[in-house]
């Protein structure tokens, strides 16, 4: 299985949905039909092109959701200058949001800084609007791979030997930083900007010379951004999606195994190209017991940073010992090759229904937050 494309064709909701799906409840199906949804796509991050693909897939899915389709669905592209393109007019975000019904749920087809980094969640929170995915604080935190790594360790998760390098350290004494990487243990090593995603600007170094080459050609970084370097761990690469509504315990989707092409690693091409990595759900090379270990670790990570809505968590499962946590994706991809929709489809929630489900969960989260505020 290489993606959720087949599931995207399913627009009818007549088949039984999983009992954990809100859409399995008749009253929630009625709420889903009453929703007004605005899909945000594009954006200003380095992952803009992926965001356009994800957002268009979400938009098409909601419009083709059959008797579960929301009463209104609109797509809003965020231009590269940050302004919103609403019904053909490019205007600032505040003017755009004021034109939309106050009960609109915003489905975030955004990845990278302006989506996963928290600015959009913060803007929508201040505007009192519902949105899909996790909230502001957890979004900001998970986007920073260096700082969040420390909290995941404190929560008892196993991580690869790693070190955070900062631009001023690299410019001040490059050799000292290279020695810090070598001290992690034998290579290869992965080097990635701490605020990036989709493996954009990520490096893979097999020896000291390649470490130096990467650091000498340091990609342009955001203010406060560093480089997280981790020793590569041998094992089965997997990912697991989780979703929840309100304060409920998160549901784990089936584990997906990722096998990059021979000699490759799971970089941008392997993630999004038709000739990229092979992906299996359920995994081919992981026992049910080991899959359950991954799900247990994923729930631990979810609670450690206060995730909500939905997220996808990545791991390496070595031959022995606990799964090794890699990172949390608070707005995972929704392209035809994306892994979260694939796992949901295997669990019984096709792509169209999944998009409606996430909007419904965003609406439920918003309602619960409003009630909590009133009670306070």
273 carries an active-site annotation:
no
125: three-class secondary structure by DSSP: helix
CB 289 within 8 A of CB 283: no
Cis peptide before 188 (omega within 30 of 0): yes
User: Kindly report the CA angle at 130 between 127 and 132, in degrees rounded to 5?
Assistant: 130
d(C-alpha 174, C-alpha 186), whole Å: 19
d(C-alpha 363, C-alpha 357), whole Å: 10
Per annotation, catalytic residue among 199, 338, 353, 357: 338
Pairing of strands 236-243, 256-259: antiparallel
Sheet strands (E) in the chain = 36-42, 72-78, 84-86, 89-91, 105-108, 130-131, 158-159, 162-165, 189-193, 203-205, 227-231, 236-243, 251-252, 256-259, 278-280, 310-317, 324-329
Per annotation, catalytic residue among 198, 199, 201, 308: 198
CA atoms within 13 A on the CB side of 236: 23
Write the DSSP symbol of residue 266.
Answer: S
198 carries an active-site annotation:
yes
169 carries an active-site annotation:
no
d(C-alpha 56, C-alpha 71), whole Å: 18
Write the DSSP symbol of residue 250.
Answer: P
User: Kindly report the CA angle at 290 between 288 and 293, in degrees rounded to 5?
Assistant: 115
Per annotation, catalytic residue among 10, 45, 46, 47: 47
CB 226 within 8 A of CB 165: yes
Measuring CA to CA, how many Å separate 67 from each of 21, 96, 277, 353? 16, 29, 35, 10
The tokens for 166 are 């900062």
Mind telling me the catalytic residues?
47, 198, 338
């Amino acid at each position: 299985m290489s993606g959720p494309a087949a599931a995207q064709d399913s627009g009818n909701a007549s088949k039984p949905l999983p009992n954990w799906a809100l859409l399995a409840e008749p009253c929630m199906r009625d709420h889903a039909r009453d929703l007004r949804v605005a899909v945000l796509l594009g954006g200003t991050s380095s992952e803009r092109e992926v965001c356009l693909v994800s957002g268009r897939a979400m938009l098409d899915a909601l419009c083709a959701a059959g008797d579960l389709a929301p009463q209104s669905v609109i797509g809003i592209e965020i231009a590269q200058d940050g302004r919103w393109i609403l019904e053909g007019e490019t205007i600032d975000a505040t003017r755009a949001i004021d034109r939309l019904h106050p009960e609109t749920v915003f489905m975030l087809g955004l990845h990278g800084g302006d989506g996963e980094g928290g600015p959009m969640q913060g803007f929508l929170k201040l505007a009192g609007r519902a949105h899909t995915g996790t909230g502001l604080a957890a979004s900001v935190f998970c986007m920073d791979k260096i700082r969040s790594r420390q909290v995941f360790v404190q929560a008892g998760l196993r991580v690869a030997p790693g070190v955070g390098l900062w631009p001023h350290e690299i410019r001040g004494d490059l050799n000292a930083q290279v020695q810090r990487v070598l001290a992690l243990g034998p290579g290869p090593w992965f080097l990635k900007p701490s605020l990036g995603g989709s493996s954009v600007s990520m490096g893979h170094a097999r020896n000291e010379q390649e470490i130096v080459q990467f650091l000498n050609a340091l990609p342009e970084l955001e203010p406060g951004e560093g480089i997280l370097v981790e020793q590569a761990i041998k094992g089965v690469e997997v990912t697991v999606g989780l979703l929840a509504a309100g304060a409920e315990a998160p549901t784990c989707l089936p584990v997906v195994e990722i096998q990059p092409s021979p000699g490759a690693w799971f970089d941008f091409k392997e993630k999004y190209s038709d000739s990229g990595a092979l992906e299996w759900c359920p995994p081919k090379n992981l026992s049910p017991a080991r899959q359950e270990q991954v799900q247990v670790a994923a729930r631990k990570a979810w609670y450690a940073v206060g995730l909500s809505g939905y997220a996808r968590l990545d791991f390496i499962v070595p031959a022995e010992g606990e799964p090794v946590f890699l990172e949390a994706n608070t707005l995972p991809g929704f392209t035809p090759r994306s892994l979260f929709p694939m796992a949901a489809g295997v669990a019984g929630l096709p792509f169209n229904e999944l998009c409606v489900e996430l909007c419904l969960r965003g609406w439920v989260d918003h309602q619960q937050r409003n009630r909590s505020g009133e009670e306070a």
